[in-house]
């Protein structure tokens, strides 16, 4: 029950992180309102694959199977991830037999499709309200509540809540209103994400591969069973956005396998979006009654599939922590614990993995790649590869374990891992996949 406030939790942003937070709260009977500035979920081409720690949460939310049905076909369950030279010579790969026993099937599904699935589940929840065309403009906090001023087509209105979940993305209004910085750096490259139809498989490509190259490093991966592929490549920093868009064909000429010169009618582009790549984090994921999750809290290069994977783990952790405080008699300090643990996960795992993966693709001499430690390990044995995959689980953290310890939050909690016997290795070697 919201009591004197309009709702118990106000979630800002209907990206996958805000929608998952809303769904998990509503399922536990929390009175939650979600506001989104756009008329519907954002359809720009971004995430398409989610690491194992996120898949655990998507399974728990009951949306993983639906998401797989959108993006995968039978052959995709044989996980194969390759690192190749620009002329498709294999450097190293994860193979189907490297799979960790007991692990869930991977999830491949465009981010906006995942958001739509989550939205359809929220719509079925009593106690959850979704308001599109509602843009958060101001917040003010009292001792009892947080009050948001929201711009709507009908004018401004106020919504009060006990807590606010800031899931409003990398340009987060909430983070700025709270005077929280976004510390880190921006990489000196554009990242261009294209959804394109081209017969990569006919030219010997697997479902997903990274190209190691100083100028053309990229990911080429199948998005869905209809022949749609994601090609995400680096582009020179000094180009304007217009120049980046004008150069797409020349990039395809350099990257695509098959007869050269590449004919313009041999591929069909469905979407192209240039992005800047950031490695950034807020100094705290909590200020007063506001809690940050997903890109509002942190950003990372997409090579490695760590951004939304981390955001999904944040969403689950935030929902569990809020349920702990609002329904399970836990002390409010559980929310500070959420903020501290998730920030630590970003710095110890997300940042290191995403940045190192990007540097690996960009800075490795493709002809000498087999001498690089990461590739040497990858080429050494199935056990070594499994250990690397195992490390991807360290991104999760179970906040429900604190529900029974009202008012006391242990200093160390457990990560969520499948029931297998493997010792963790330094997180820097982890990879999931990415874009």
Under the rule (CB under 6 A), what is the footprint of ligand FAD? Answer: 12-18, 35-38, 42, 46-50, 111, 135-136, 167-169, 173, 191, 193, 232, 275, 294-295, 302, 305-309, 311, 434-435
Neighbouring residues of 412: CB distance < 8 A, sequence distance ≥ 6: none
Neighbouring residues of 49: CB distance < 8 A, sequence distance ≥ 6: 106, 107, 108, 208, 221, 305, 432, 433, 434, 435
Closest to ligand FAD by CB, 257 vs 311, is 311
Q: How many angstroms separate the CA atoms of 313 and 293, rounded? A: 9
Closest to ligand FAD by CB, 49 vs 103, is 49
| Phi-psi sector, 332: left (phi>0), alpha (psi -120 to 50), beta | alpha
Q: Look-up: residue for tokens 């069973």? A: 225
Q: How many angstroms separate the CA atoms of 11 and 290, rounded? A: 10
Strand (E) or helix (H) holding 220: strand 218-222
Whether the Cβ atoms of residue 165 and residue 12 lie closer than 8 Å to each other: yes
Closest to ligand FAD by CB, 92 vs 312, is 312
| Phi-psi sector, 110: left (phi>0), alpha (psi -120 to 50), beta | beta
Q: How many angstroms separate the CA atoms of 303 and 218, rounded? A: 8
Shortest distance (Å) from residue 244 CB to ligand FAD: 13
């Amino acid at each position: 029950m919201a009591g004197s406030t309009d709702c118990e939790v106000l979630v800002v942003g209907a990206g996958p992180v805000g929608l998952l937070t809303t769904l998990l709260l509503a399922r536990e009977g929390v009175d939650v309102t979600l506001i989104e500035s756009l008329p519907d979920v954002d359809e720009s081409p971004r995430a398409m694959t989610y690491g194992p720690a996120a898949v655990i949460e998507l399974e728990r939310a009951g949306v993983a199977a639906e998401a797989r049905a959108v993006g995968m076909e039978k052959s995709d369950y044989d996980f194969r991830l390759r690192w190749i030279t620009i002329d498709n010579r294999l450097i190293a790969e994860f193979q189907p037999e490297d799979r960790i026993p007991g692990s869930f099937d991977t999830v491949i599904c465009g981010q906006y499709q995942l958001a739509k699935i989550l939205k359809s589940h929220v719509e079925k929840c009593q106690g959850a309200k979704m308001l599109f065309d509602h843009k958060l403009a101001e917040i003010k906090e009292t001792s009892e509540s947080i009050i948001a001023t929201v711009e709507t087509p009908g004018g401004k209105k106020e919504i009060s809540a006990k807590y606010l979940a800031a899931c409003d993305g990398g340009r987060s209004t909430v983070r700025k209103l709270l005077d929280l910085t976004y510390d880190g750096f921006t990489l000196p490259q554009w990242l261009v994400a294209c959804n394109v139809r081209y017969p990569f498989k006919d030219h010997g490509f697997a479902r997903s591969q990274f190209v190691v190259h100083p100028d053309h490093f990229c990911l080429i991966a199948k998005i869905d069973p209809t022949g749609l592929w994601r090609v995400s490549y680096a582009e020179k920093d000094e180009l304007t956005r217009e120049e980046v868009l004008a150069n797409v064909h020349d990039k395809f000429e350099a990257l695509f396998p098959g007869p050269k010169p590449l004919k313009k009618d041999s591929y069909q582009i469905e979407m192209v979006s240039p992005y800047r790549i950031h490695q950034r984090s807020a100094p705290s994921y909590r200020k007063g009654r506001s809690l940050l999750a997903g890109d509002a809290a942190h950003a990372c290069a997409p090579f490695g599939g760590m951004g939304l994977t981390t955001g999904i783990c944040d969403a689950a952790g935030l929902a569990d922590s809020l349920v702990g405080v609002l329904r399970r008699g836990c002390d409010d300090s559980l929310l500070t614990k959420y903020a501290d643990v998730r920030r630590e996960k970003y710095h110890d795992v997300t940042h290191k993995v995403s940045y190192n993966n990007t540097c690996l693709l960009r800075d490795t001499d493709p002809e000498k790649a087999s001498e690089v430690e990461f590739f040497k390990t990858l080429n050494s044995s199935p056990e070594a590869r499994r250990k690397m995959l195992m490390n991807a689980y360290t991104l999760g953290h179970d906040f429900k374990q604190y529900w029974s310890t009202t008012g006391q939050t242990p200093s160390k909690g457990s990560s969520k891992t499948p029931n297998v016997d493997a010792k963790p290795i330094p997180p820097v070697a982890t990879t999931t996949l990415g874009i």
